[in-house]
Amino acid sequence: MPPRPFLLLLAAVVFGARMAAATEAAPPWASSAVSVETGLLWQVGQNTPLSYRLVPTQLSWRSKRNFGRTFADGSHLLVRHRLTLLGTWIQQGPESHYIGFIGSPSIEWWNKAGTWCWFGGAGGGFGWLDSQAWPGAQGQDFTLNWMMRAGVERGFGARGTLSAGMMFQHMSNGGATNPNPGIDAVGFTVGYAWSF
């Protein structure tokens, strides 16, 4: 008779293999996901004479598919909810950091196999930064924000995806102070998501 630890190990391996097979069969949009993204954004436009450079880090939650459509070729166009905690290091500019919250849809087109997708979305929220008394700097700590993002996401393992994309971020105080220069910045992001 095999020793008891060996039987327990064998049972754990068989159970793990069955769970992995079940996980691989589920498409990415059938479950929620948590992602971490970071990147580099550069000031664009004429809102402020300062040359801001931002390093945003996003911790996001996406719901499973909210609604969508499956096409004849098996590809899927769908919408998921996305909530984001945004922490931005202001690498260049008089302020040093920004913390914000953003709500937006995640619009995704997945191939038939569910191995990669094009994504996009836009949304807004609010946040706080350490405003400074400097010409061209932001007028107050409380700000409103708005962002757009688009890119590509690729499956990596049974539950993970890698992403690369572009992001536009706007923050300003909505005219609560004068001046209200705001920051418009655009750049790239990379990230990793875990489905659960």
pLDDT score for 19: 52
pTM over 0.85: no
Rounded CA-CA distance 89/100 in Å is 12
Would you state the pLDDT for residue 10?
52
User: In this predicted structure, what is the pLDDT of residue 145?
Assistant: 94
Measured between alpha carbons, how far is 53 from 45 in angstroms, rounded to an integer? 13
- The answer to whether 176 and 142 have CB atoms below 8 angstroms apart is yes
Predicted pLDDT at 139: 77
Query: CA 44, 48, 50, 53 torsion: positive or negative?
Result: negative
Identity at 38, one-letter amino acid code:
T
pLDDT, one tens digit for every residue, the chain (196 residues): 445 555 555 555 555 545 554 445 578 889 999 999 999 999 998 888 889 999 999 999 999 999 999 999 999 999 999 999 999 999 998 999 999 999 999 999 999 999 999 999 999 999 999 988 888 788 789 999 999 999 999 988 778 999 999 999 999 887 777 777 889 999 999 999 999 8
Q: At 105, which amino acid appears?
A: P
Spacing of C-alpha 107 from chain mean position? 12
Q: What is the CATH number of domain 28-195?
A: 2.40.160.20
What per-residue confidence (pLDDT) applies to 173?
82
